A and B are shown apart, each in its own frame.
Chain A
């Protein structure tokens, strides 16, 4: 879902840049208050995993592929602001080093896959586990639901940005983006569930860390 340069108009580029800059600034402030010694290695491992896993595009229907975003996973384990930091670092590196996602579109990409996906994933997980209970089953189903929802919502926000920019009418681009990402979100949910299951089996204390 990395938007290249050229898809968004100046107003959308400027708006998303300002919001994302504010979001990343606040993420740094919250991390300054809450990040502790135990968070440090998990921050590093999550950013490494999310970058590596994002390279693994998996096929979905009709000659289309998708890949993990990872924001829901990071937000479930570390909290939404830590996840914004992690996703921003991944997206900045992808943009500057690997030419994946446009330079001017960086603010929009951080907004969609960093801020929107992290917060929707975090609160969907909390909502789902409050209904399902906090046992292993509740956590895994909650993780799947949160991950699916984070991709679906990020794709809707992305479609709105494209429509506002005049790339394609909302009635065309919104159902197309949401439809494909409803499928890609299943992959996101399965990967998120698998990693959560691995963490619960090996280091269940990591899921209990204070959320940042």
Chain B
């Protein structure tokens, strides 16, 4: 199989996901404003949790759990959007 540009691109995205434990854990812009202006307590927890806060459940090492969450999300989104785009493109070809 010939290596295409996006094979390398996907590997690069997975490498970016592996950097996720290095991310700053400070609150983001909106959280900071909500804390400072006193409306952070309005926030409600999600009614269910899957991979809440990008930490894969049941793994002791938090860096590893974060990397795993990042890799899973990156692959799922690539798969879904690539498939949707491919379907849209092929359907158009049939119609033409």
Contacts and interface: CB of A to CB of B under 8 A. Distances in A.
Given A1-B29, A40-B89, A93 B43 contact: no
B1 interface: no
A210 interface: no
Interface stretch (A122-130, A131-139, A176-184): A176-184
Contacts of A4: 43-44
Given A53-B16, A93-B76, A40 B23 contact: no
B3 interface: no
Given A3-B30, A45-B9, A176 B37 contact: yes
A36 interface: yes
Interface string A104-144: 00000000000000000000000000000000000000000
B20 A56 contact: yes
Which residue, of A33, A42, A44, A56, has the highest number of chain B Cβ atoms within 10 A?
A44
Interface residues of A, number: 66
Q: B interface, how many residues as a size bin? A: 35 or more
A49 to B, nearest CB: 5
Given A93-B76, A168-B37, A48 B27 contact: no
A18 interface: no
B73 A64 contact: no
A43 B24 contact: no
Interface of A: 1-7, 28, 31-33, 35-37, 39-45, 47-49, 51-53, 55-60, 62-67, 85-86, 89-90, 93-94, 96-100, 102-103, 155, 158, 162, 167-168, 172-173, 176-177, 180-181, 184, 202-203
